Structure 1
Amino acid sequence: MNRIILLLVFGLFFSCQNTAQINSKLKEVINADPIQVPLENGKAKAYFASGCFWCVEAIYESVKGVDEVINGYSGGHTKNPSYESSNTGRTGHAEAVEVIYDPNIVGFSTLVDVYFASQNPTQFNGQGPDRGSQYRSIIFYQNDEQKQIILKKKEALTKKLKGKIAAEVYPFQKFWVAEDYHQNYERLHPNNGYIRNVSIPRLKRFQAKMPEVLKKGGH
């Protein structure tokens, strides 16, 4: 019996120690200086995490001014995260999207509005049925102007909903592109059970909230 108790104590100690190390690494990420991504052919990039990236990809691709959305991982402290490793919650990464857009058609401020309108902003560590730190909500900023836009909108939403908003605000550091089979998932697998029962309903709820930002002809 004493041996079992001793093993449990050691297990708890190393578990707490490992958690402390992860938290320490995440603090370094959160406190880092943001990296500004330069325009490329007149197009800008923005980064968001809001639950399953299959859902978020479809949402942003329905917005006019958005050229492309890429699924990947961001916000963590490890290099080259994979779907399997990020799902353990130990890498610190969240499923995220890279939104490539024309700033002459749609601004960063509108993309943040899309972000909040397309999720349950008060759900922590996940969206809908997807739970865990890898599905947490994060908005990434690349400069102080973007940071202030995010903070003001988050504050306004907090007052409106009279509750705490789940979205974390991180300085952008690195976006890791996800595996090929995760890209354009909603378009390529329209009959997938998750897509039909989770992604498409979430997309339609957003489209009903912000019809003014949608591309003509629909998604």
Structure 2
Amino acid sequence: MQEIVLAGGCFWCLDAAYRVVDGVQEVVSGYTGGRGAHPSYEQVCTGATGHAEAVKVVYDEERLPTDVVLDMFFTMHDPRQLNRQGNDVGTQYRSAMFYRDEAEKAVCEAAIARAADWWPGEIVTTLEPLGAWYDAEEYHQDFFAKNPTQGYCLAVAVPKVNKIRAGFASYLKG
């Protein structure tokens, strides 16, 4: 199994989109890239901790290549928006890829280069070394499945899931 940690706006959306993909074994919403141990959602939302809302995607690389996982990431969010995604504004919503080692950093750099071919304008996705990871509170885990009629999920998460379904149909769970 492989793991990659990505941030691209609200973690509910990334979580929901990756969960429809075959080969994804687990998605964990959490916080990384900031200061202070064990931040709460409320603390992260202030922007004061510097943590990003992120997801840890655990996947079977035999069934789902890392390049595809990263191309999906650049499909489901706008990597040109600095410290925001749509109406979600703040550093906690930044576009970021968190790497464990130089090999993973190189894979992420290649994904950013591919994304630059699809997106007009400057890609602002940051590459950051993966520091401490903190799981988000339980109610954030698999939020979309638990709250399918919640307004934010319908307005923001569903379109992201649909982008993955449309662009990566051969990788969807059966």
**Fold conserved between structures, TM > 0.5:** yes
2:24 equivalent to 1:72: no
Question: Hey, what does 1:212 align to over in structure 2?
Answer: 170
Bigger drift between 99-108 and 157-166 goes to 157-166
Q: 1:14-54, CA deviations, whole angstroms, 9 ceiling, x for partnerless residues?
A: xxxxxxxxxxxxxxxxxxxxxxxxxxxxx222111110111
Q: Following TM superposition, by how much is the alpha carbon of 1:212 offset from its aligned partner in structure 2, in angstroms?
A: 2.2
Q: 1:72-106, CA deviations, whole angstroms, 9 ceiling, x for partnerless residues?
A: 10111221111011111111101001111112222
Structure with more helix by fraction = 1
Secondary structure of 2:56 counterpart: strand
Q: 2:82 aligns with which of 124, 130, 144?
A: 124
Let me know the Cα RMSD of the aligned residues: 1.4
Q: 2:155 aligns with which of 156, 174, 197?
A: 197
Percent pairwise identity: 37
Secondary structure of 1:117 counterpart: helix
Q: Distance between the aligned counterparts of 1:45 and 1:124, measured in 2?
A: 25
Secondary structure of 1:212 counterpart: helix
**Which letter does structure 2 place at the counterpart of 1:174?**
A
Q: How many residues align?
A: 174
Q: 2:104 aligns with which of 113, 136, 146?
A: 146
The question of whether the paired residues in 2 share the 8 Å contact of 1:78 and 1:92 is answered with no
Secondary structure of 2:50 counterpart: coil
Alignment CA distance shift 1:105-1:179 (3 Å): same
Q: Following TM superposition, by how much is the alpha carbon of 1:64 offset from its aligned partner in structure 2, in angstroms?
A: 1.1
Unaligned runs of 5+ in 1: 1-42
Q: Distance between the aligned counterparts of 1:210 and 1:124, measured in 2?
A: 26
2:60 equivalent to 1:102: yes
* Structure 1 segment 20-99 matched on structure 2, within 5 A: 43-99=1-57
| TM-score, reference length from structure 1 | 0.75
Higher relative contact order (CA 8 A, sep 6+): 2
Q: Following TM superposition, by how much is the alpha carbon of 1:121 offset from its aligned partner in structure 2, in angstroms?
A: 1.9
Moved over 6 A (4+): none
**Which letter does structure 2 place at the counterpart of 1:70?**
V
The question of whether the paired residues in 1 share the 8 Å contact of 2:71 and 2:115 is answered with no
The question of whether the paired residues in 2 share the 8 Å contact of 1:76 and 1:92 is answered with yes
Alignment CA distance shift 1:107-1:188 (3 Å): same
Q: Distance between the aligned counterparts of 1:77 and 1:100, measured in 2?
A: 24
Question: Hey, what does 2:95 align to over in structure 1?
Answer: 137
